[in-house]
Amino acid sequence: MLIKKYFPKFVNKLIDVGENIKINTLIGGHGKEAVVFLHGHPENYLTWRFIAPKLTSKYSVIITDLRGYGYSTKPQGLPDHSNYSKRVMADDVIKVMAKLGFTKFHLVGHDRGARVCHRLIMDHPEKAISCTLMDILPTYDMYHDTNQEFATKYWHWFFYIQNNGLPEKLLNGNADFFIRFNLQLKINPKTKNNFSEDVLQEYIKCFSDPMTIHGVSEDYRASATIDMKYDIADRTKIIKTPLLVLWGANGVVGNLWNVLANWKKRAENVAGFGIKECGHLVPEEQPEIVLETLSTFLEKYKTKN
């Protein structure tokens, strides 16, 4: 792990959330208010290396690996994939934060982590002070608006959901190739130097675990099945939590959808913009812009003591 190098003032703990699941958690800062960071696919806590350490002077900063990813527990998926639903992953976050003494917090998520944030503010809006979502629209919208370009560029959405262990078998032993292929596919070429070899090796190491590949596959299988049921049931709900939505101006999501307009249909308080010279891996490609924008947003919605 590269915690000492990139998060030197953070403490690392495995926090038990029940049912033999332990969530890898980094804890830094001493603020009364907490900010939780949730990474995306196929990464881990390192996603936030440029951003989270710079917020510790004002906030308690919590970074977790999602279940199935990084150094968190990777359970065998249930037949209905429910133990990898975003509802269950959101409950992991709530339990981690409760054990750390926080009943309310700011949420920041990228990609899969942002989908967990979305479910958390739908199920438990009282827990979220604010929520920042990076490079996503609701899962329901993205599946139902699928066209040839989306299916080509987000091929993994349709690959991972295959059953009978297909993605697990095909990806096992190919972590190095897949991580590098995924990086080249999704980032703006001008930002490639932000992905140093030691970081890539850490992503490769975690993805080399067959149970990580299984956990990732179950995450996507859940999104296409049980999560979809939850999302359909909530289509008429209006999100009350203040939202900041950011996306890569050169990425698939930003090119195929009007991100801000679509989130404004789902929430009453939304701000955001597409970041130039940026693909999908927003917090790693353009961390300075993300940090500046996020800091302003967090300050605006900081709880008044």
Which of 81, 118, 214, 280 is the catalytic position?
280
Please say if 111 is a catalytic residue: yes
- The secondary structure of 196-247, three-state, reads CHHHHHHHHHHHCCHHHHHHHHHHHHHHHCHHHHHHHHCCCCCECCCEEEEE
Please say if 198 is a catalytic residue: no
Which of 111, 135, 227, 231 is the catalytic position?
111
Return the exposure string of 110-120: e unless at least 16 CB atoms fall within 10 Å of the residue's CB, then b: bbbbbbbbbbb
Q: Give catalytic residues, as residue numbers.
A: 111, 280
